[in-house]
Structure 1
Amino acid sequence: MQVSNINDVKIYNLSCGKSLPEWLSDRKKRALQKKDVDIRRRIELIQDFDMPTVSTNIRISRDGQYIMAAGTYKPRVRCYDTYQLSLKFERCLDSEVIKFDILSEDYSKIVFLQSDRYVEFHSQHGRYHRLRIPKFGRDFSYHYPSCDLYFVGASSEVFRLNLEQGRFLNSLQTDGSQINACDINPAHHLFAAGTTEGKVECWDPRTRTRVGLLDCALSSVTEDTEIDGLPSVSALKFNGPLQMAVGTSTGQVLLYDLRSSRPLIVKDHQYGLPIKSIQFHNSLELVITADSRIIKMWNKDNGKIFTSIEPEADVNDVCLYPNSGMLFTANEAPKMNVYYIPALGPAPRWCSFLDNLTEELEENPETTVYDDYKFVTKKDLDDLGLTHLIGSPMLEHICMATLLIYGCITR
């Protein structure tokens, strides 16, 4: 476990640490645990919580019991049972998963959008049905009142598949050349689609007519941002009936009130990388946004940074466990990261022991490397007459002796 303190917020990386090879026998594993202190002290929250090479998507069932992740290679999906803290089942697929979603309370109804234009429907026993959409898909959303699946991708059309009738319905024709992301508001079921031209089109599923248009590419250009090329929409997420966040391919996040065409806040990630995931933490009024390099948590009222996480591997997806301070990430690495942030909320019921563990660590804090040091600036060196020693190994020792003589430090 690795502990970091960013902006006075403790972040516990539960996936950090050594892992034992799978090909070792149980006897050798026990012997290694006795010899290596790091292996003995590691926290394996969920057993086998990894992929062979890369994890691409991660989701949590609505009942909170199951965590599902898709990855490669070979293309596969894994389901983890939080009550047992272990792998429940694994299924291999024919091609890589672009996105998947859990339609039921548990894992009994799952939809996979794959890279070869196929859509697979899975039940408890395995694959239930498989069909192909007309164009390559990039995202999809499920409209619960009408049982319609909305698929968007390398086309100006939004393809509608009705799961009750088992057939395609008339498509929605947008003004964009291609559509990258979509989402449906759970309150009033407004459908939003983000295009490569940087616009968000909002549609009413009841009348199948467009009711609004937002030019996010123009609004993302501010005085403090430097943008190369036309920003396209890369992520969309609704929060409540009136709030929507839009992520762009140039690294900006725009927070909208649906009653206005101007964004309330434009947050720049400063990396110029496409926004991949947007989550909301409503109890603390936070927005959790991620590109491939960094995960930022910031206040949705003023844009002030709460904290941030920079994983070692590139991030593909981020999932927040409901009503808790636990965060899961899918990465360009075999391990899927698990972060626990007590400031966001308590640990889930299935791992409530983490609260006691973190409380014990806070009661016995470890001293950091620089606790007993005093850092000096160039002006301090000018006052001491030591600027000619900059770059030499003698500078630290002479500074220490000089500061001790002058009584600046007590070490």
Structure 2
Amino acid sequence: MMIEEQTKITCIENGSVISPPGFQVAGLHSGVKKARNDLGVLYSEKLTNAAAVYTLNQIQAAPIAVTKESMHVEHKLQAIVINSGNANACTGKQGEEDAYMMQHLTAKKLSLPAHHVAVASTGVIGVHMPMSKIAPHIDLLSIGKTKEHVAQFEESLLTTDTFTKSACYQAEIGGNTITIGGAAKGSGMVKPNMGTILSFITTDAAIESEFLQMALKEATDKTFNCITVDGDTSTNDMVIVLANGLAENDTLTPEHPDWKVFMELLTKTCEDLSQQIARDGEGATKLVEVEVIGAKTNEDAVKIAKAIVSSSLVKTAIFGKDANWGRIIAAIGYSGVEINPHTIDAMIGPISILQNSEPMAFSEEEINTYFENDTVKILIDLQLGDAKGKAWGCDLTYDYVRINASYRT
């Protein structure tokens, strides 16, 4: 375990979405995809308070509509059924019926009311769900708590991802140990405000849905909404948090003395998952982290960081190990944030490239060596205030074009 001194948050090595007590998972191959698992379920042994955020794309997939409808009833969930390989988006009335069927079959399998089951899908848009494959396999899902169950579930989420993504953290809150675990998928069609991101987060914290929703929105704005791979926004994004209360802590509210600790715990879990998604961008070789300090507001800082990390020219320069800082400055200028163009400092890793908007001499050999790292950090100081913000992305490579030129084949 690794303990972060400032917040007393503990990273649980090899933790997962079922590390908080009371959760089980399953995953299997139904045949929607050629090989890897493509159908999974996350189950809570007791009804949970739930919160969710969704894609901002105006065209939203059928599972989004079904899940929103279920959440509207009580803001409580006990299971989430997930498929990969087919997005069930732009599939009309049949798509809605298929999403409802997935929900009802899962509810029947687990002996739950249908509105306590959420539905999530990811994959190719505009193709009807092959329910002849999905439907019979829902009944074959066998939930459990072993490492094998977790591995099967995490694989069932993936599309073009090259690795599974999980995170787990703990903190002491009011004398009780609170655990938050999560699993996610995401590789392409990812931009700020989420894109082909599915993330399922669990916790044993006692917290009402109203405040869980507030916490998730705040955490998402700092994490999932601050990553980009290619600038495209999916029809299917969804982040759901389930809180079962088994930690038996005093119910968390914004007035709770440890509310800040809970927020840091949730945000850290989301940030970890977000960085894994950015690192696994289609064809990517590097994670890119942009931090902006010295801004007037945190919103300004994040907006500039997003502009830089979203720039195709910046991303290709990083792939090519080219310290073309002019592309970084250009992104700052078109970000829409009011700045002083004469007071900008910039660094790539430990190397200063700009001071007060004037170029600094640097060693090409030193910066080329830095670009060999699998994480590239860019620091911008606007020298306008005390606010700051971060965004994450990846480099843009030849493989990105190759992968997406043949996605359906």
Q: Shorter-chain-normalised TM-score: which range?
A: under 0.3
Structure having greater relative contact order (Cα 8 Å, sep ≥ 6): 2
TM-score (norm 2): 0.27
Report the structure number with the largest CA radius of gyration.
1
Which structure has the highest helix share of the two?
A: 2
TM-score (norm 1): 0.27
